[in-house]
Amino acid sequence: MTLRHFLTASALTLVVSAQAIAQGGPPPARVRVDAARMETVEPMRRVTGELVPTRRSSVASKRDAQVIEVLVDRGDTIEAGQIIARLDAELAMIDLQRAEADLKAAEALIAVRKAETLRAERDLARTRVMLQDNAVFQTEVEDRETDFAAAQARLRQAEAEAASSRATVADARKAIEDMVVVAPYTGQVVDKLTEVGQWVREGDGVIEIIEVAPIDAWLDVPEQYLPALRNGSSPTVQILAEATGHTTSGKVTAILAQGDALGRKFPVRVRLENTDGALLPGMSIVGVVPTGGSEEALTIHKDAVLRNAAGAFVYFDGGGVATVAPVEIQYAVGNRFVIRSPMIRPGTSLIIEGNERMYPGQPLMILSGAPENAPAPEAAGT
């Protein structure tokens, strides 16, 4: 909306408002105001970028099997550990039964080998006693020693085979568990890669999922602004999704060492919580980054700012009636915005309470006292 449109609308509304008051119109709106003022702030600059998911995964099948159920579709939000697909476990169940039978046979063989080892040990002990009585030759003792050693070796072999069978059973049980495909983390399904009846092999994708909470904003930052981003610990950067008007902020988590040689810009990553899911991968964004130094700027209280399809605007006290003015928000400083506006000057009284259902030209009753959590007033610059 242009300034001309604002002025025309305001003038017409003032005429209508004056007529309404003369005819006994609605009572004045009870409002609180806060003055626009000049302040010394750290200058900020706007840079462009885009939103990128923090993680993107093709969730794969861990086994060869037929798909019997797919429980999610594109666009679904899923939680970590949620079941997303089931595979046919019939062959895996048969493998488990076979492995368990082999394990029982291996454990029975261990019992046999233990008995054989015990008998060989007893024969060896008896032969050694007989040798002391000169009832047998030394070769008999040596033969019994060989038999005992062989029995011990067969026992160890049986125990190793049983251990292998246990591992096979564990793998068969794990295979059955793997027939249920679950989400590795909370995110959104962006592609379904298989359907019921299809055969998937180990490593084949079932769905593609992205993580959007948190989400990463990658900004192209000119090289001269990088020192301000490196100062201190993880500086905070304001992010605006211009298409939706959604604003948020996050910490700088990385500055890519490789930049654009022509534009002298470097990718900077800002991690955003995005708990409400309003920010989506691929959205174009504007980041407001610190540049260092200081400058004088016109600021207004955040609660004064309203938005509609035409953009941001405010209501101010225009001689006892509500007057509307467009504003261009530059960046936030605490609980205030640095703005540009052809109609707002230092000292202009902006309505910060009672402006939700206000209309231009509405009579005002300005309440005294500062609103709750409001900062102490400062002298306006000139």
* pLDDT at position 275 over 50: yes
pLDDT score for 61 = 97
pLDDT score for 287 = 93
pLDDT score for 20 = 46
User: pLDDT grade, residue 311 (50/70/90)?
Assistant: confident
**Do residue 161 and residue 190 come from a single domain?**
no
> Which residues have C-beta within 8 Å of that of residue 100, sequence separation ≥ 6?
169, 172
Q: List own/partner pairs for 165-171 with CB under 8 A and 24 or more apart.
A: 165/99, 165/102, 165/103, 165/105, 165/106, 166/103, 168/99, 168/102, 168/103, 169/96, 169/99, 169/100, 169/103, 171/99
pLDDT score for 382 = 31
pLDDT score for 95 = 96
Residue carrying structure tokens 């202009």: 348
* pLDDT at position 19 over 60: no
**Do residue 205 and residue 322 come from a single domain?**
no
Q: Which comes out higher in pLDDT, residue 204 or 13? A: 204
* pLDDT at position 288 over 70: yes
Listed residues 178, 203, 238: the one ending a domain: 178
User: pLDDT grade, residue 368 (50/70/90)?
Assistant: confident
* pLDDT at position 379 over 50: no
In a domain, residue 376? The reply is: no
pLDDT score for 261 = 81
Specify the pTM. 0.66
**Do residue 304 and residue 260 come from a single domain?**
no
**Do residue 245 and residue 133 come from a single domain?**
no
**Do residue 315 and residue 219 come from a single domain?**
no
In a domain, residue 340? The reply is: yes
In a domain, residue 249? The reply is: yes
In a domain, residue 371? The reply is: no
| CATH number for position 273 | 2.40.30.170
**Do residue 38 and residue 48 come from a single domain?**
no
Residues 372-379, mean pLDDT to the nearest whole number: 44
Strands 306-308 and 295-301 come out as: unpaired
* pLDDT at position 337 over 60: yes
* pLDDT at position 374 over 90: no
pLDDT score for 373 = 47
Listed residues 143, 162, 178: the one ending a domain: 178
- 351 near 327, Cβ under 8 Å? no
Q: What is the pLDDT of residues 68-119, one digit of tens each?
A: 999 999 999 999 999 999 999 999 999 999 999 999 999 999 999 999 999 9
In a domain, residue 170? The reply is: yes
**Do residue 49 and residue 26 come from a single domain?**
no
pLDDT score for 7 = 47
**Do residue 285 and residue 185 come from a single domain?**
yes
pLDDT score for 27 = 84
Residue 28 token pair: 């004045």
How many structural domains does the chain have? 3
In a domain, residue 370? The reply is: no
* pLDDT at position 23 over 70: no
* pLDDT at position 273 over 50: yes
Mean pLDDT for the chain? 88
> Which residues have C-beta within 8 Å of that of residue 64, sequence separation ≥ 6?
199, 200, 201, 202
* pLDDT at position 290 over 60: yes
**Do residue 65 and residue 33 come from a single domain?**
no
User: CA-CA distance, 172 to 372, in Å (whole number)?
Assistant: 65
User: pLDDT grade, residue 292 (50/70/90)?
Assistant: confident
pLDDT score for 16 = 44
Listed residues 116, 151, 178: the one ending a domain: 178
Find the domain containing 137 and state its range. 90-178
**Do residue 238 and residue 170 come from a single domain?**
no
**Do residue 285 and residue 203 come from a single domain?**
yes
Q: What is the pLDDT of residues 140-181, one digit of tens each?
A: 999 999 999 999 999 999 999 999 999 999 999 999 999 999
**Do residue 117 and residue 229 come from a single domain?**
no
Bond before 214 cis per omega within 30 degrees: yes
In a domain, residue 135? The reply is: yes
| CATH number for position 21 | 2.40.420.20
pLDDT score for 5 = 52
In a domain, residue 61? The reply is: yes
